[in-house]
Homo-oligomer: A and B are copies of this chain.
């Protein structure tokens, strides 16, 4: 799967499109993506920080799509964990996903989110169904 094909999957997905994701780099077991800030991301209008649910979506995306070049498709998430390290001020975010363990039945990946100044905003990991069966049921 090429970077262009991954970008097309994103552009076809309503929520991934809404997150304004642009693939910057695609490796055998990694991905780097930019997410484009939008005003709807704000949690508390006084603090103007990006909502944790947006960060969780980016962790899930980054961990999942770190597998995509090798597996050939986005895969269903079984579960995930997100750790919040800093409040994210308004601005684009960089997501870096990396595979921890490829497995026949399921795989584990991690992702980290940075702001444009390079500060670590959040990190996490998830477990993904990578069995060949195309069934998406969980």
Q: Kindly list chain B residues whose C-beta atoms are within 8 Å of the C-beta of A47.
A: 136
How many of chain A's residues have a CB under 8 angstroms from any CB in B?
54
Q: How many copies does the complex hold?
A: 4
| A78 in contact with B83 (CB, 8 Å) | yes
Min CB–CB distance A99 → chain B (angstroms): 11
Give residues of chain A (25-84) contacting chain B, Cβ–Cβ below 8 Å. 39-45, 47, 49, 51-54, 56-58, 60-61, 74, 76-84
Q: Kindly list chain B residues whose C-beta atoms are within 8 Å of the C-beta of A87.
A: 136-138
Min CB–CB distance A130 → chain B (angstroms): 12
Given contacts A14-B39, A52-B60, A57-B54, contact A138 B78 (CB under 8 A): no
